[in-house]
Structure 1
């Protein structure tokens, strides 16, 4: 599935920045600064989506952890790295403020509400992507679409919704930085027990091929977040630099 990016569990709100100003309150009341009615055509659906998003936020208490390939210091790995890649090394300490993250990935049903509310066409209604289009699987979007969706949520609520930084994503996927190689309920995959069967994955979409799976189909990680890194690629806010780990600041790194 090269080239397909799924809208992942990356709707994040930084609690230290929370609060509504007058402009944000106006947006929630359906008016702009000039007093004009700007309610979307699907206002009830928008309100329900915003409420669901708020209800699904998982609080992540801040702290420090070793970010990157922790295999060499994990006794379970026998001193060996978990990955062959150089861009998740060197292992380095990172300290994060508290934040909240969505327990679930953003589905096509969610994203369709957003595009209707903002007057945009539905995404992935033709071409090979349409095979993987189902209401309850992760929406396939590019980085800009993911960022704009988060900004829309921020406009709707007056709260600082955004894509997570890479550090926030990894810290949450590892349940506050524990030595968990994968974001399952115990850090490992046992197909049929804590990971879906091939048949369950294929049944998730109209496609006869293996692709994205239904959101929430497997148990969450110990933090309570589902399928991080296990249901398609996911976007983070950071731009990319292969050697960023060599120069990353320790506190709240935001990428190169």
Structure 2
């Protein structure tokens, strides 16, 4: 199954190229006739070697192969002959130099080997690196690495999927020198989450086992966990910097555990105690710059614009985010929400406001990530197929199951999901990725919706004791040309618009707010983590979830929906519903805590 250019990298390199044929149907290879320059038989006429035919998977070659096996004379097939001497020589592998490896492999294979050098070498791990970090590679590039001679077996595990390999000589260090340090750290982070999942451990438990090695908790995947610890020590020490001290501490723990396991250290029977501790891990968060259009509605008296007396102004902006690939080609995009301070709630002169939006109060929100879009039906279907944490999930709960215009229906937001369903979705996502996913707090949601430290800073009234933010991130007005809500109703001096009577695909209007977030007004209600409170009296000012002493209380939802008029889609509007309720306008988007930056 390998291309012919790789044949000579296998044991075939020590065999002789021959032609062979057979006149007996179904004859054993030993009885085939072989044409060779070398004498083929020894004393007594017994064969001196073993002929191995080579067949490629194309119609002509398979036809010749079939005729040869059928014993039809006159057909020949190419192959190789292994003699006793060549078989022994084939077991004596040559060790290539780093320069030889670079000179004889493709650039993609070289990069794959360099990424593999940062982690234990095992077939499933190599494939994972291909899928997540080098998608342009294929099985041919994997064959280039494994057939290059730079790897040796580390164990004799019968299962090839669990067999471990090591790099020969200084090859690992040479390969690590060929890629940026951040790439090596990213590979370590990806593979640590993978090994933890295979062992049935949380990422925190896995890291604790690395720092404090013990046979307890490793289960059947102790081999992979130990290998990860050994390689991590070697790689982190070589990368140096602030990671070297961590690697030395990790190495000391690994050595001590190994000595204790082999009885080389005698110690009195320990007294078992339970300790609580924090495990800090340095990870590389790969970010991406997103470009998007920000829309504002500006009043143009006497000018006929796209929204009657209001004109939609668009401008290009950029913001940073991350992409979590859930499965296959289904991504989950999150925008980086910078930390900042804002006034939560509505001012007393905002049209259609409610007392539950008072009193306005200053809130400082730490940095976090928030879904670029509401969770889609495609994303829901993937995560609903993962193993449950607390409760089962319907893989296809949505009411709207038809395509919308030229858009696939899976690009619509998922709806008919309860608050409990959304929490389960986040729990599965957290377990699978190793990151903490959750519903946003009510303060985080409003802060992100307003994007007040971005393009809207110019429309905030600085003179008032309580700053007057506009009702929408579009400004003072909203239009059905930029959001999906009940267009038969109006807000302020706005005009009626289209009532679509259904959800629209996420990002359908191709306009975002200053943080790069789409569909914050309308489309589907979005669950927040907070229980409902009648107003903001006593609310926290740090952006955290405002907890309640009551169990199973109603939960906050924000943003309005396709079914609601524009007044319910305002940034400050608050609503609530029972956590087990589902409706064809209930959806959500996920938040993720930002890692601390050293």
* Shared fold, TM over 0.5: yes
Instruction: Map 1:105-254 to 2 at 5 A.
Output: 105-118=374-387, 120-124=393-397, 129-130=399-400, 134-140=409-415, 141-176=417-452, 178=456, 179-184=469-474, 186=475, 188-192=477-481, 194-195=482-483, 210-218=501-509, 219-243=511-535, 245-254=536-545
Q: Which moved further from structure 2: 25-34 or 140-149?
A: 25-34
Alpha carbons of 1:158 and 1:82: their partners in 2 closer, same or farther (altered >3 Å)? Answer: farther
Q: Secondary structure at the match of 1:151?
A: helix
Q: Secondary structure at the match of 2:356?
A: coil
- TM-score, scaled relative to structure 2: 0.31
**Residue 159 (structure 1) shift:** 1.2
**1:67 pairs with one of 344, 347, 357:** 344
Structure with bigger strand share is 2
Give a deviation string over 1:221-253, Cα, whole Å, max 9, x none.
12110011321111001111113x110122223
Aligned to 2:327: 46
Q: Could you say what the CA RMSD is over the residues aligned between the two structures, in angstroms? A: 3.4
**Residue 195 (structure 1) shift:** 3.6
Q: Secondary structure at the match of 2:428?
A: helix
**Residue 47 (structure 1) shift:** 5.7
Alpha carbons of 1:67 and 1:217: their partners in 2 closer, same or farther (altered >3 Å)? Answer: same
Q: Secondary structure at the match of 2:384?
A: helix
**Residue 29 (structure 1) shift:** 4.9
More relative contact order in 1 or in 2 (CA 8 Å, sep 6+)?
A: 1
* Distance (whole Å) between structure 1 residues aligned to residue 508 and residue 351 of structure 2: 26
**Residue 46 (structure 1) shift:** 2.5
* Distance (whole Å) between structure 1 residues aligned to residue 435 and residue 326 of structure 2: 19
Alpha carbons of 1:130 and 1:100: their partners in 2 closer, same or farther (altered >3 Å)? Answer: closer
Query: Contact between 2:336 and 2:368, CA under 8 Å: does it hold in 1?
Result: yes
Larger radius of gyration: 2
* Distance (whole Å) between structure 1 residues aligned to residue 366 and residue 443 of structure 2: 11
* Distance (whole Å) between structure 2 residues aligned to residue 86 and residue 111 of structure 1: 35
Q: Structure 1: where are the runs of 5+ without partners?
A: 1-19, 37-43, 73-79, 200-207
Give a deviation string over 1:123-177, Cα, whole Å, max 9, x none.
327xxx2567831111111101111111211112211111000000000000136
Aligned residues: 205
